[in-house]
Amino acid sequence: MLIDAHQHTDWIGHDCHAVVKDMDERGINRAWLLTWEVPDGEFSSSYYGSFAPGDTGLPLRNILHACERYPNRFVAGYAPDPRRPDAVERLEAAVKMHNVRVYGELKLRICLDDPDVVRVFRRCGELGLPIVLHIDIPAVERPKLPARDYWYCVDIDRLEKVLLACPQTNFIGHAPGFWRHVSGDGYTAEGSYPKGEVTAGGRVPELLAKYPNLYADISAGSGYTALTRPPEGRGRAFAIAHQDKLLYGRDEFTSRHHDLLKSWELPAEAYEKIAFRNALKLVPE
């Protein structure tokens, strides 16, 4: 079995039919479909080529459309903007009416320990919804800074605060601002996707080991890069050490993350946990 714990529909030219076709070709049984509720002005204009025509972000209606047509292939995710006064009520209605099982993807210009955000996080714990966080960082050193810096869900240190403040809520880390901290140089390495040798003292392995309510999905370029950084064999060792906390995910339409898992020839139990068992633990069938 294989569960993709980080996927979208009506994204990068893939409607729900194309997503299922891609899943079938790659042996994926089920996928978590995540929204991106984002106001105008909080995302780069380059994203307009990724959204479906007429959409801003990835709205809930697209998830519901997909789940109605393929009820056995998708798990519904939804992350209303926690800055909205009615965020909790919207979420509760979605859980009750549409069987939303995941709060995600949260990808906004917010600080993770903001009181309005923590309020929603705590309600997710009560509802049994794991939270998928896109953590990014303000621009690190780049040859040319963008006109506006698009950062999301700051930051790894505030994440630790909410892990403590919301012990009944499960969080899933994702994206460059999270995975760069697989290494001890996470605060200082240049670029959003550091590729140099991993050094000791990374916050990601520290937090995964310390907090039972923190998980991580290996999706996108951020997860793949973090797991393939040298020294050789380190990614496999990391996967075995944190096998109870990692979830297979893609956030794209390739096989490279699964190919990486298979190339490591993991012990069967470790492979199964990452491939689907941890996802089923957080979102039971």
CB 274, CB 243: distance < 8 Å: yes
CB 244, CB 212: distance < 8 Å: no
pLDDT digits (tens, 9 = 90+) for 218-271: 999 999 999 999 999 999 999 999 999 999 999 999 999 999 999 999 999 999
pLDDT given at position 143:
52
pLDDT given at position 148:
67
pLDDT given at position 21:
98
Domain count of the fold of the chain: 1
Q: How far is CA 243 from the centre of its chain?
A: 17
CB 176, CB 216: distance < 8 Å: no
pLDDT given at position 137:
82
Alpha carbons 100 and 95: distance in angstroms, whole number? 5
The CATH number of the domain where 91 resides is what?
Answer: 3.20.20.140
| Structural domain that includes position 57 | 3-282
β-bridge partners, 172: 132, 215
> Could you tell me the two tokens for 241?
């050490």
pLDDT given at position 114:
98
Cis peptide before 155 (omega within 30 of 0): yes
Spans of the chain below 50 pLDDT: 141
Q: Could you give the maximum distance between any two Cα atoms of the chain, in Å?
A: 49
Q: ∠ CA 174-199-234 to the nearest 5 degrees?
A: 70
pLDDT given at position 54:
86
